[in-house]
Chains A and B, each alone.
Chain A
Amino acid sequence: ELKVEQNPLFLSMQEGKNYTIYCNYSTTSDRLYWYRQDPGKSLESLFVLLSNGAVKQEGRLMASLDTKARLSTLHITAAVHDLSATYFCAVTRDGNQFYFGTGTSLTVIP
């Protein structure tokens, strides 16, 4: 069974600070996804990482993938309140079954 672990589970950070969320997975995967979920809402796709060394950036968020270490990171630069949400990573096996991490609840404090 493919397992996906995220840490930290909860993150409280001050505006303007940098931080990284980690996503580890247990077996070889086709691709890795990052999602954002606001309270009471659905999931919004942030990044799809397809190969080793892939790096994608959107605004203050940057995601990277190291397939050899089975590790992805989501780096937050100069956090702002609008980034407060829960962030999930997910991996696929055979391109079909998706396995999600338990999520990282991020709170950005003014």
Chain B
Amino acid sequence: NAGVTQTPKFQVLKTGQSMTLQCAQDMNHNSMYWYRQDPGMGLRLIYYSASEGTTDKGEVPNGYNVSRLNKREFSLRLESAAPSQTSVYFCASISLAGDSYNEQFFGPGTRLTVL
């Protein structure tokens, strides 16, 4: 199993450009998440998807959109990138239904710089 995969690993954008971060998991998990990590602030939840076809806002959703394409894939889109969106982005997944040990698995991260 590959676990949680993310593409790209690194990206540099200019202000105003758009891009989509891709995430996929092969563990048949129901729930998927997008976080951003900034120095000194831990991880903050951007959006999550509790099941295929549903998405909900997290703590810091402004400037982002998401799509739960199917059970495996959850993408994050920046429509018009801003320097404040410079961060490391992590995708994660978890199975919250029926498992006694609900471990959350993280992807390797995408390091995004907006100039």
> Which residues of A are found within 8 Å of B108, using beta-carbon distances?
41-42
> Which residues of A are found within 8 Å of B90, using beta-carbon distances?
42-43
Sample 26 A-B pairs with CB under 8 A, ordered by A number: A31-B102, A33-B104, A42-B90, A42-B106, A42-B107, A42-B109, A43-B92, A43-B106, A45-B103, A45-B105, A48-B101, A88-B43, A95-B96, A96-B31, A96-B48, A96-B56, A96-B96, A97-B58, A97-B59, A98-B33, A98-B35, A98-B104, A99-B45, A100-B35, A100-B44, A102-B40
Inter-chain pairs besides A33-B104, A98-B35, 12 sampled, C-beta below 8 Å: A4-B42, A42-B106, A42-B108, A43-B90, A43-B106, A48-B102, A96-B56, A97-B59, A98-B104, A99-B45, A99-B59, A100-B42
- Where the two chains meet, the residues of B that have a C-beta atom closer than 8 Å to any C-beta of A are 31, 33, 35, 40-45, 48, 50, 56, 58-59, 90, 92, 96, 101-109
Instruction: Report A85 CB to chain B, min CB distance, Å.
Output: 14
Instruction: Report A94 CB to chain B, min CB distance, Å.
Output: 9
Instruction: Report A7 CB to chain B, min CB distance, Å.
Output: 13
- Where the two chains meet, the residues of A that have a C-beta atom closer than 8 Å to any C-beta of B are 4, 31, 33, 41-45, 48, 88, 90, 95-103
Instruction: Report B102 CB to chain A, min CB distance, Å.
Output: 6
Instruction: Report B104 CB to chain A, min CB distance, Å.
Output: 6
Instruction: Report A47 CB to chain B, min CB distance, Å.
Output: 9
> Which residues of A are found within 8 Å of B105, using beta-carbon distances?
45
> Which residues of B are found within 8 Å of A88, using beta-carbon distances?
42-43
> Which residues of B are found within 8 Å of A45, using beta-carbon distances?
103-105
